[in-house]
Structure 1
């Protein structure tokens, strides 16, 4: 007696990439998307989980001695080691990125099993990492440079020079706008941002679904 065929695999959801320059308000938009019923996969959150795993910590300590202290990653020490050093950053990415991608794929599979048509991939360096090519659409959050710098200084204690240095290492905002499917201008208030977001979702065929 032959076994019945396995049930057909659900197709993976379509991917909406969410990105934005430092201080643009990407995290605010991610929260608004969640409130509208969309699954948001946060690459930074997955990276934090990955770098808490013993195997990852062991590789990081071997590659960057002194960055693991009392069994936990000293993120500030690691950032100081790789910031501005392309070779060291590439070494870090070789350790962490495959693990983060594996987590994101597993979360996507979970969304597919739930029958979700779209998932949002929240990736700060989406364009810089070439991940925009694997997205079905890209939503960019942007704001004037002066506004973004002021926001980051107010919330983080970084100096304006620090923020400008970090911004300079990202793809220029005009190029991001050129490559994005849709851009949200977050230079106004929250209500204006929500109106733009809902219009963007309608444009993509995603009806906003408030929770």
Structure 2
């Protein structure tokens, strides 16, 4: 009798801008977990010639010399919900396909968990497909300070992007675990270690794969 393969359990990782989600993702990788980065896959998708052609047709002037001008695209798209929806319709299905293929590869390797690093996890309704959700959070002013230090965005840009996401309080309410990124790297690592060594084991012991 053929037995359907089980998928790895999914840990959704998300957090508001400047919370430190990328640092937590790196720490999860250091603990041996496979992290599937939706933003990374989106960058790969938007380098594909077919996708670039579709973006340039919808948003002329945003592809220069065969390369996506991300700043120009953001300036064109983010103020217009209809434009955001059009861009998402082009990019998101391809990103989901890439994420599914990477998850299958992890299943083939026999991995028990994969981390799906998705900035708009709740906003896109993708939390419904997760076995657990980890939210990284920090006070707004600290997040603003971190995001400004990275460069490329003004305070107004950051606040506008933050306003398009669910409030931090709502993300915390929906989370399985919340990591408070208000201290140093050692404090952050200690929290990540607790989730990996205790939290995932408990969920894995009582849950079941599909």
The question of 1:106 aligning with 2:97 is answered no
Instruction: Map Cα deviations across residues 51-97 of structure 1 (whole Å, 9 max, x no partner).
Output: 00111111111111111111111111111111121000000000000
Match of 2:57 in 1: 62
- 1:9 is displaced (CA, Å) by 4.8
Q: Which has the larger radius of gyration?
A: 1
Alignment partners' CA distance in 2, 1:58 and 1:160? 32
Stretches of 4+ aligned residues off by more than 4 angstroms: none
Indicate conservation of the 8 Å contact 1:21/1:170, yes or no. yes
> What is the aligned counterpart of 2:137 among 130, 142, 148?
142
Counterpart position of 2:207? none
- Give the aligned CA root-mean-square deviation in angstroms: 1.3
- How many aligned positions are there? 201
Q: Distance in 2 between matches of 1:19 and 1:203?
A: 17
CA drift of 1:169 comes to 1.2
C-alpha contact (below 8 Å) 1:10/1:115 kept by paired residues: no
CA distance in 2, matches of 1:121, 1:135: 9
- Structure 1 residue ranges without an equivalent (≥5): 207-211
Segments of structure 2 that go 5 or more residues without pairing to the other structure are 203-210
Does residue 205 of structure 1 match 2:201? yes
- Structure 2 partner of 1:96: 91
Structure 1 match to 2:165: 170
Aligned partner of 1:125 among 120, 128, 135: 120
Equivalent position of 2:30 in the other structure: 35
Q: Which string of whole-angstrom CA distances, capped at 9 and with x for unpartnered residues, describes residues 94-149 of structure 1?
A: 00000000000000000000000110000011111110011000000000001000
Higher deviation after alignment, 24-33 or 77-86: 77-86
- TM-score relative to the length of structure 1: 0.92
